[in-house]
Structure 1
Amino acid sequence: MTHEKQIEDSKLPASHEYGGSDQEREIAVHTAPLASTPKGRWERSFPVLACGAGLFSDGYLNGVIGSVTTMLRIIYGKEYTSSSYKSAVPSIAFAGTVVGHLFFGVLSPAGSVGAAESTGELKKGHRNRWFILATDFQIDLGFVVSAFVPMLVVLATGENHLRAAWRICLALGALPPLSLLWLRLTSLQNQATGTEANFSAYSFGIFASSWLVFILPTDSPLWKSFGMATAINSFWLPGALLGAFLADWIGPKWCLVGGVSLQGIVGFAMTGAYSELNQPSRVAGFIILTGIFMALGEVGPGDNIGLFASKLSSTPIRGQFYGVAAAWGKVGAFVGTYVFPLLIDAAGDDTVKQGQYPFWVSSSLCIFSAVVAFFGLPNVGQDMIEQEDERFKRYLEQHGYDTSMLGTKKFREETGSVL
């Protein structure tokens, strides 16, 4: 399909049909709906996919810390578990992530921001699902791979060489960002421009391999623990996929409220039945129920918190807005990694309570989150990005700013704005 035909189909007049100067024509094209831009399907979709590649790396690097922590605990024993090192490793990882969110949130639009703006050029009614598939689904896929890779590495090195194994697992995390470099260099800027985590999702994923050590027989090889963690993390994928479609069908707000409410209910049920689940012979049931719990977390907050954070602000501040929101999400995850070990320690030698306490706290927070989302979040439509930009433009005009040059190359060069 030619560009002229695409413009005709989208009811956007060709450049020669605009009156006035080249600058006036540029303004008219810039203020047209994003879905009307003369691009093919691949040109519209490629920036979304490129952003998703970076978030896959985010998921892997955050998830693999859990397996590394498990290996360090086995290597150093009480020297590691009885010291501050136990929480220092995941804490350092999350501290770096938070700083990165804040730094790049101010410096430029992050991965999720770029994906959100790119989906504005896609077909209405499908935008939320593609945003989620390029963001939360990619993060979840990174978490699944972050448990699968340590299983393969430990099988290859053997449990007598865990010092090499944990270093290999971390080193492999450099490959996705390097592959992303090519994608980002070849990705075009979209019309609008000129990365999401909650307490239970990250914390449960990070400690999945550690918890399974409690349930599996003491003589089970470590690779089985990582394999079980892979199975549990895999439940995130169908949850993220279902939530992606529900976000378009019923809206992000109701998808979030419904998903996190059901997650809390399942979590309370697991808390009550944990004494029955905490048996090596019933590890399959534990995996299924924990998987459902985590999948519902993806249907609700996992899929939708990034969508809210990246679509509820205008283009000039979207990167900063999302960066702050994502940093707070990582703070919640950091609190989870710090609190969960304390909850387990508070249970003493009672293995049942060691499993019940984290589920009880997380389930309570799920219900609390559902209430906050119900009363505090707005409904997000398919055109929210364009609506927020229009509101910002009206705000500027009401306060005496001249917006006639907004969107032109000259305006961007003089002001450094992305609008």
Structure 2
Amino acid sequence: MLFGRKKDPEGDVDHVADVHNGAAAPPPLATPGRSFWSAIVPVIACGAGLFSDGYINNVIGSVVTILALEYDDVWATSTAKKYVGAIAFAGTVVGQLFFGYLSDHWSRTNSLLVSTVILIIFTALAAGSYYKGDTVGMFNILTAWRFFVGIGIGGEYPAGSVGAAESTGELKSGSRNMWFIMFTNTMIDWGFVIGAFVPYVVAAACHNGYLSTIWRTSLGIGVVFPLVLLVMRAFLKEPEEFQRNSMKYSKTPYMLVLRFYGFRLFVVSLIWFIYDFSAYSFGIYSSTILANIYDKSAPLTTIFGWNTVLNLFYIPGTMLGAPLSDLIGPRYALALGVTLQAVVGFIMAGLYPRLAQPSMVGAFTVVYGIFLTLGELGPGNNIGLIAAKTCATGVRGQYYGIAAAVGKIGAFVGTYVFPYIIAAGGDSEEKSAQYPFYVSSSLCILSAVLVVFLLPHIGQDTIEYEDARFRVFLEANGYDTRQLGLKKGESLEGVESAGEKVGEVDKKSG
């Protein structure tokens, strides 16, 4: 699997061809004369649903804060306290795996529609959670609905991101990575910001009272965006690359897929695992900053306002980093981001005793903001892009879904491991805060090494060339690649007959 790089006639695109097996270049996807807006709309419709992921996952933090104030001891002693915030992650893993399979073997667009409907229904049910007037029962119902919300979010990853990656092939070469990022990870980050800002606005409108109204309204607003997307997605067509190379009506040769992509999938999944695993420790600094700004008696508007400010630090990294991924490539953009983030993380850990003082809260916030920005510029922007473009179309949904699910599992593992790392600091508050960031910064360096040395170059047309490489491999191992792209009702015999007729016409015309 050796990769060579060739410049296209325009001189601005790195084509990725397998010089070892001579994979032929496929015809370009971009339709001549097609307007920018007609090409970008499918990318928006496929990818922008991840806004809901950011919003729904972030707004629950504000909801939990309100539930603790509203129900006090009942909430504190409820088992739901442990699960309401995190249960959506479990649902997301299920959704990523299930819809990864569904998007490959059924339909990209139909899978998106189903996941959007699930998201709308269960977000609305979560906002209206009720159980016969029983508070604990209501907590349990809210937890159950949040699990199903997670399944809907999980569907956005393989079906949405993969569809967005394939649709970028219709855009002008040289900006495809940027537009993919702008309507996937950037959407997640804006979802985080709005998920923090909406509770602030609602709390201000309610004058920090009517707590049930605040949290139910904040959750309910999460229905609006997927409703808009549902309308857009109803008119989506399958990406052209999926129509060419899908395995929906053929048998998937999983053993061959594992031979060809097994190691690469392991590396991509490991990088995603490390990213989500390490991200857990970042909240330590956020808590420190907020604790130095206000006390426990602060009004909700103060808490939610500062939470919005902290989440805004994600935006410069993702928006400035998006064009960087076209300029230097996703691999190097990811490696640059995690390397710089590791440097800042080591500095923050070393200077923690000074930065953690209330008088230094401004400096601490700025340095922490740089840290978050670099995280988005690197792995935040590029890990999903790498997962979407380093695999052939026929199994891309499952490949992406597995990698994303392993990432979420990394977050789960982090929640259990980091308390032990913190405890290793003993009675020293400084060491307890420093140790997690020594670990996280070291893992950032590991991620950089993995992505630079163990993953291939990713150019503007990698998706098409990956399909060409995979076809050559399948044919070399006895798989009939005429099965790829078969439509409903078609058979190999029909394809062969059509090919013979075309050949006869060519002979006569010659």
Q: Under a length normalisation based on structure 2, what TM-score does the superposition of the two structures give? A: 0.68
**Which of 66, 74, 81 is the aligned partner of 1:71?**
66
Could you tell me which residue of structure 2 aligns to residue 274 of structure 1?
352
Asked if residue 299 in structure 1 is aligned to residue 348 in structure 2, the reply is no
1:260 to 325, 332, 338: 338
Q: Does 101-110 or 71-80 show the bigger shift?
A: 71-80
**Secondary structure of 1:94's aligned partner:** helix
2:301 equivalent in structure 1: 223
Gaps of 5+ in 1: 1-9, 11-30
Tell me the C-alpha RMSD between the 2 structures. 3.0
* Distance in 2 of aligned mates of 1:170 and 1:318: 32
Contact kept in structure 2, 1:53 and 1:176, CA below 8 Å: no
- The structure 2 residue matched to 1:393, chosen from 471, 481, 488, is 471
Task: Tell me how far apart the structure 1 counterparts of residues 463 and 181 of structure 2 sit (CA, whole Å).
Answer: 16
Equivalent pair of 1:244/1:303 in contact (CA under 8 Å): yes
Q: 1:348 to 1:232 in 2, by over 3 A?
A: farther
Amino acid at match of 1:35: A
Structure 1, residues 188-234: CA drift from partner, whole Å, max 9, x if none?
3221123x783268646877875544222314323222222211211
Task: Show the counterpart of 1:27.
Answer: none
Instruction: Describe how 1:179-258 pairs up with structure 2 within 5 A.
Output: 179-194=228-243, 198-199=275-276, 203=280, 210-218=287-295, 219-258=297-336
Contact preservation (8 Å) 1:157, 1:165:
yes
CA–CA distance in structure 1, aligned partners of residues 218 and 466 of structure 2: 42
- Residues 39-81 of structure 1, C-alpha deviation per residue, up to 9 Å, x if partnerless? 3322211111112320111111112222223333444557656
Q: CA deviation at 1:334?
A: 2.9
CA distance 1:347–1:315, shift in 2 (3 Å) = same
Q: Counterpart in 2 of 1:384?
A: 462
8 Å CA contact 2:281, 2:437 repeated in 1: no
Q: Find the aligned partners of 2:61 and 2:491 in 1 and give their Cα distance.
A: 47
Partner of 1:16: none
Structure 2: how far apart are the matches of 1:65 and 1:207? Answer: 18
Instruction: Show structure 2 runs of 5+ residues with no match.
Output: 1-9, 11-25, 109-158, 244-271, 493-510
Shift of 1:101: 0.8
Q: Secondary structure at the match of 1:153?
A: helix
> Please, what TM-score do these two structures have when normalized by structure 1?
0.82
Residue 345 of structure 1 and its aligned partner are, at CA, apart by 7.2
Q: Could you say if the C-alpha distance between residues 201 and 120 of structure 1 is closer, same or farther in structure 2, counting changes exceeding 3 Å?
A: farther
Letter in 1 for 2:394: P
Deviates more, 1:257-266 or 1:50-59: 50-59
**Partner SS state of residue 85, structure 2:** helix
Give 2:43's aligned amino acid. V
SS in structure 2 at match of 1:90: coil
Could you give the per-residue CA deviations for residues 277-331 of structure 1, whole angstroms, max 9, x where no partner exists? Answer: 2233432222211111011001110111001110111111011111111111112
After the TM superposition, which residues 154-173 of structure 1 pair with which residues of structure 2 at under 5 Å, given as runs? Answer: 154-173=203-222
1:140 aligns with 2:189: yes
Q: Tell me, yes or no, if the aligned pair for 1:257 and 1:373 is still in contact at 8 Å.
A: yes
Contact 1:263 1:366 in 2 (8 A): yes
Q: 2:178 aligns with which of 115, 123, 129?
A: 129
- Identity percentage of aligned residues: 52
How far is 1:235 from its partner? 1.6
Amino acid of the residue matched to residue 473 of structure 2?
A: Y
Contact 2:203 2:209 in 1 (8 A): no
Alpha-carbon distance change, 211 to 89 in structure 1, aligned in 2, over 3 angstroms: farther
CA apart distance, 1:150? 1.6
How far off is 1:365 after superposition? 2.4
Report the Cα distance in structure 2 between the residues aligned to 1:256 and 1:216, rounded to whole angstroms.
33
Alpha-carbon distance in 1 for matches of 2:233, 2:102: 16
> Cα distance, 1:140 vs. partner?
0.7
Count of matched residue pairs: 385
C-alpha distance in 2 between matches for 1:115 and 1:252: 16
Please, which of 89, 94, 98 is the counterpart of residue 94 of structure 1? 89
2:47 alignment partner, one of 48, 52, 59: 52
